[in-house]
């Protein structure tokens, strides 16, 4: 195994779901970051999982500063092909540390404060843009629906690459 423990940070629960799935499949423990800081030794190899906000992996600096992070997973609503490289650059994640992206979830009802306000504005802008398009493909229609009503895309298949890396010797 490339990591002996999974440590995660989750806002609305999708990253926590992914961490529990991967933990069960790989047979290694998973801890929420706040608990891991007291339970996981600094030398223990860690797979850090979190969610993206404004292109950055939330709690990345804290995890890298206090844990032996060997790999990362980012949960986001719609990962783009270049998402991993963009996130690694934005967070100063070393080149040798892999970062895997997984399509997560969006639950507007679980947001609060400034995040709720910002996402309300972003949703309004994006939905208006989608609706003003001459034609809408299936992906745009799905995104409009998820932004408006929320939704989850969490499934074990989206962990395939992270699991394969984790099991490498």
Model pLDDT for residues 83-142, shown as the tens digit of each residue: 899 999 999 999 999 999 999 998 888 888 988 898 888 888 888 888 887 777 887 888
Write down the mean pLDDT value for the chain.
92
Over residues 53-60, mean pLDDT? 93
Q: What is the pLDDT of residue 169?
A: 63
Please report the sign of the dihedral spanned by the C-alpha atoms of residue 19, residue 25, residue 26, residue 29: positive
Q: Which two tokens stand for residue 101?
A: 């992206």
Q: What is the pLDDT of residue 135?
A: 78
DSSP assignment string, 21-90:
HHHHHHT--EEEHHHHHHHS-TTSEEEEEEEEETTEETTHHHHHHHSEEEEEEEEESS--TTHHHHHHHH
Prediction pTM value: 0.88
């Amino acid at each position: 195994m490339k990591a002996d423990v999974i440590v995660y940070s989750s806002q609305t629960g999708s990253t926590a779901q992914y961490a529990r799935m991967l933990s069960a499949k790989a047979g290694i423990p998973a801890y929420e970051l706040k608990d891991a800081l007291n339970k996981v030794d600094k030398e223990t190899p860690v797979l850090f999982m979190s969610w993206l906000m404004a292109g950055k992996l939330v709690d990345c600096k804290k995890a890298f500063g206090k844990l032996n992070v060997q790999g990362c997973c980012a949960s986001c609503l719609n990962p783009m092909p270049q998402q991993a490289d963009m996130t690694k650059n934005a967070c100063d994640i070393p080149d040798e540390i892999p970062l895997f992206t997984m399509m997560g979830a969006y639950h507007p009802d679980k947001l609060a404060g400034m995040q709720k306000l910002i996402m309300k504005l972003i949703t309004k802008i994006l939905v208006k843009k989608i609706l003003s398009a001459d034609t809408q493909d299936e992906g745009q229609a799905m995104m409009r629906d998820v932004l408006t009503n929320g939704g989850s895309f969490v499934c074990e298949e989206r962990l395939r690459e992270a699991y394969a890396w984790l099991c490498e010797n």
